[in-house]
Chain A
Amino acid sequence: MVGSNRVVLGTGIVHVTGDAKLPPDDEKQLRRKLVQQALDALQTNEKQ
């Protein structure tokens, strides 16, 4: 659901967990960050 704290914004449709404009190492860093955000969201209960 839009606005839900379990929806993490990816880097656009064509590379949701990546970014083709970044050098490979930076892209991996970005991916780790996004995945960690997802894991954090999974450990968070619904905000009242």
Chain B
Amino acid sequence: MVSKSRAVSAMSGENPGVDLYREALHIIDSGTSTLKMRDVLGRMANLGKKLAAKQTIGLPQEEGYLPRGLLRDELGKETAATRLVNMLVAKMRGEDFASEMSPTAFAPVPMPAAVKDMTKAKVMLITDGGLVPKGNPDRIEGTAATRWGAYNIEGRDHLRGEDYEVSHGGYDTRFVQEDPDRLVPLDALREMERSGVIGKLHDEFLSTCGRSNPLSNTRRLGREMAEKIKRDGVDAVILTST
């Protein structure tokens, strides 16, 4: 991904803005102390000059910006096999080595407390399998979706294939197209609502597409859905995922 941005910013690594915008522009690592401000401003100016002159920007550790999660192809002196074995040997010896790709770290999310009485609970269905009404009115993308939708299921006992389509490029969708309950189990939940196993099924199910979706999208999508869940007084969510 080529950055067309000519802006340079500086943030501390844990600033939420970093996750949101690291791909969009270069963000100098400003650390957590204002004592370093002169140094940080100097790095910003240097990077800004390079960007203005359309020079090649070096690696994060060279220029002082936070890793952007972008991969750039380079011709190396050693084959991948050699580099890998060297890394493994170094690791086994307890020596320093630099991984070429760092896995994304997720801060652990505490599990919400269990629902005390499901017979009184308001339950909502959510899916990341890309089920949308025919015509995909909210134009939810089948890859790297930037949008989610809330779709009315009031009075419906089950989902009919003719009313829906699937916007998801990552799996064979014909079984879900035939019977969308195979992804969003409305029929089962409606029965459970009638028999009193659950208190109430929310009148809408939420949907988006989880395929190849960068965290910068999915963190926002999740946050927005969570806000709706809270606003609508939902007690429990069943999220089906492909």
Residue ranges of A at the interface with B (Cβ–Cβ < 8 Å): 1, 4, 6, 10, 13-18, 20, 27-28, 31-32, 34-36, 38-39, 42-46
When chains A and B are docked, how far (Å) is the Cα of A39 from the Cα of B236?
Answer: 9
- B241: nearest residue on chain A (CB-CB)? A16
Q: Is the Cβ of A31 less than 8 Å from the Cβ of B188?
A: yes
Does B182 count as interface, using CB distance less than 8 angstroms? yes
Stretch at the interface among B65-73, B173-181, B225-233: B173-181
Does B118 count as interface, using CB distance less than 8 angstroms? yes
Number of A-B contacts (CB under 8 A): 83
Provide the main secondary structure of the chain A interface. loop
When chains A and B are docked, how far (Å) is the Cα of A45 from the Cα of B242?
Answer: 25
Residue ranges of B at the interface with A (Cβ–Cβ < 8 Å): 108-109, 111, 113-116, 118, 123, 129, 171-176, 178-179, 181-185, 187-189, 191-192, 197-198, 236, 238, 240-242
When chains A and B are docked, how far (Å) is the Cα of A34 from the Cα of B192?
Answer: 13
- B170: nearest residue on chain A (CB-CB)? A13
Q: Is the Cβ of A43 less than 8 Å from the Cβ of B114?
A: yes
B242 — which chain A residues lie within 8 A by C-beta?
Answer: 13-14, 16
When chains A and B are docked, how far (Å) is the Cα of A39 from the Cα of B198?
Answer: 9
Q: Is the Cβ of B185 less than 8 Å from the Cβ of A35?
A: yes
